Each structure stands twice: as C-alpha cells, then as structure tokens.
Amino acid sequence: MQQILTLIEQKKQEYAQLALFSFMQNKSINPIQRLAWAPCAAHFIMNFGELNKYFLREEPTNDPIQALINKHTYEDDHHWLWFLEDLKNLELDKLLKFSDALKFLWSEETKNARCLNYQLYRYTSQATPIQKIIVIEVTEATGNIMFSTAAEIGKEIKAITQKPCRYFADFHLNVETGHMTSQSGIEQFLQDIQLSEATRQEAYELVENLFTIFTQFTNELLVYAETHKIEQQLKTA
C-alpha cells in the first residue's frame, strides 16, 4: 500500500498547481469573487455527506479496515451544513424559483460536479475496504489543498466583515487532516497493508482516474468563478 500512498502524495502536489488555486490566492480579486464557484460545487458538497453515509460506511463490520472507514465517515458526513451557513454568510445565497434551482444543479455548467459524484458512487459501491480507503485518501488529499487555500480567503473576509466562515475556514481544515485519520499508528497500519500485484495495478488506475475527475471538477469551478461576477462588496462591520 505504501507505493499507492506515495502516488497519491505526488498527484496531490500536481493537483495543487491547478489554476483555480492561483486564482483563489490572487489578492487583487475581491475575496468573495474568489469563492464565487461555491454554488457550482453544491451538488458535490451536498452529496459528499451521502457518499459517507450510504456508500463508504458499512455497519456492522468485523473488518478492521472497514471499521476505520466507518469512524472516518462520521467525521465527514455533515460538513455540508457548514457550507450552507457560509453561502448565507457570503451572500451567495441567491433567491431562485425551485425549478430554476433544479435547472441550475443539473445544468451544463455544473456537469463535472455531478460527474464527480457519479464516479465516486461507482468506485465505492460494492467496493473492497482497500478501494474505499483509496477514495478517502484522494478526497482528503484534494480537500486539503482546497480547504487550506479557501481558509485563507475565509480569514481575509472575516478581517473585513467580522463574520467567521465555517466551511471556508480553519475550523473545517482542522478536521480535514489530509489523511483518513490523524490517529497515530494508523498511517503505518495503512502503509503496511500488503497488496497483490493485480490489486496494486487496479489501485494505481483508481488513483489516476480519481485525480482526473477531481481535476475536471476543479477546472469547472474556475470557469464558473471567472464567468459569474458577484455584485456584492464586502461590508465592514
């Protein structure tokens, strides 16, 4: 498993180079504009809780790896609540007719967010605990890049408005450790798992595919943020 975790770490460094993250770090742009992709990510963020509850979690279990996965799912299944809070906070909570909201969520411009969900469901449905761990490690790796960047914007916004974010914040980053669990010994336990040659090849492929769909999703967010100008200016408290 060690080689797989090393590959995930390498792909994480490549993922960090995506243009969305330089856009998010560009302080010459209004900080809310740098988070203006949030509605585009909604389908994925809202479904991520369900992925944890209904696909990754499997109870009861006698499998020690599945038991670790289960524990992890309880940490990750409710972050969408913080996302909804921040949408309000940042005034990205536009009033829409229900039919328009549905149209938006299933539109062309948010397609990669949905595809990401569908692929994650595909890779976790009836999957082995090893396959699930790979999905978790990749989502943690990409999430860590995303939230460490977003939390900085959250801080800039808080300094102006005095309103703290929870999703785009250190508060969130602190529980997204970048790994399945920050418990000591677990990392070593994962590294030491022995994989057959065939399983290792499948695992490599899974990591590559997962990073591809996360990259397409992330690029979609940038297009959205660049083409949807937000109107509001930050109000000082």
Which residues lie near Fe ion (CB under 5 A)?
A: 79
Taking CB atoms, the residue at the shortest distance from Fe ion is 79
Find the shortest distance in angstroms from Cβ 153 to Fe ion: 16
Provide φ and ψ at 89, rounded to 5°: -50, -45
CA distances from 95 to 140, 163, 194, 226, 232 (A): 32, 21, 52, 21, 14
Find the shortest distance in angstroms from Cβ 52 to Fe ion: 10
Say how many C-beta atoms besides its own lie within 10 A of residue 134's C-beta: 25
Find the shortest distance in angstroms from Cβ 41 to Fe ion: 12
Is the Cβ of residue 136 or residue 222 nearer to Fe ion in the bound state?
136
d(CA 12, CA 145): 8
Residues 6+ apart with CB under 8 A from 74: 52
Is the Cβ of residue 71 or residue 200 nearer to Fe ion in the bound state?
71
Is the Cβ of residue 90 or residue 151 nearer to Fe ion in the bound state?
151
Is the Cβ of residue 56 or residue 203 nearer to Fe ion in the bound state?
56
Find the shortest distance in angstroms from Cβ 200 to Fe ion: 29
d(CA 158, CA 166): 11
